[in-house]
């Protein structure tokens, strides 16, 4: 009776062996911070579009904590530079793509971010949708 039990335990000890699953980093902000040059900007209220001949911009992403980022926009229009704080955002990891994060503002999904690209769509004001796309 003891031999079959020992054989079973021996076989079971190998069943659990194998490659360990890659653990996901709990710090969502890793690789996301830094500057993202704006490649497309459309503000329906002011009809501002980027790229333009006199207008450039970039989004600066800074870590607030392990699941939140702060985004500011630095723009240059005809030699005049301006920096505006956009907001603090919460990040949610995409279940099917661990390198893609949804961006939330006040519980509303407003965009996505990866280590190379960020998209923000603000439709909070009536008839004024602002879309910002930046890529590095």
Mind listing the pLDDT tens digit for each residue in 25-67?
A: 789 999 999 999 998 888 776 666 676 667 889 999 999 999 9
Each residue of 65-111: pLDDT tens digit? 999 999 999 988 888 999 999 899 999 999 899 899 999 999 999 99
Residue with more model confidence, 70 or 122 = 70
Instruction: Give buried/exposed letters for 100-111 (b at 16+ CB in 10 A, else e).
Output: ebebbbeeeebb
- Give the count of beta carbons closer than 10 Å to the beta carbon of residue 120: 22
pLDDT score recorded for residue 129: 81
pLDDT score recorded for residue 127: 66
Report field, pTM of the whole predicted structure over 0.85 = no
Residue with more model confidence, 124 or 133 = 133
| Token pair in block for residue 109 | 């999904």
- Give the count of beta carbons closer than 10 Å to the beta carbon of residue 37: 13
Three-class HEC string of 18-81: CCCCCCCCCCCCCCCCEEEEEEEEEECCCCEEECCCCEEEEEEEEEEECCEEEEEEEEEECCEE
């Amino acid at each position: 009776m003891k031999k079959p039990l020992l054989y079973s335990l021996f076989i079971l000890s190998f069943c659990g062996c194998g490659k360990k699953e890659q653990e996901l980093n709990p710090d969502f902000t890793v690789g996301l911070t830094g500057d993202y040059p704006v490649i497309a900007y459309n503000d329906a209220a002011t009809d501002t579009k980027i790229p333009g001949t006199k207008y450039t911009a970039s989004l600066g992403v800074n870590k607030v904590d392990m699941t939140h980022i702060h985004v500011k926009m630095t723009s240059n229009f005809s030699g005049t530079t301006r920096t505006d704080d956009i907001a603090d955002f919460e990040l949610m990891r995409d279940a099917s793509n661990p390198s893609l994060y949804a961006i939330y503002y006040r519980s509303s999904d407003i965009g996505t971010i990866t280590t190379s690209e960020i998209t923000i769509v603000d439709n909070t004001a009536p008839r004024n949708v602002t879309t910002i796309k930046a890529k590095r």
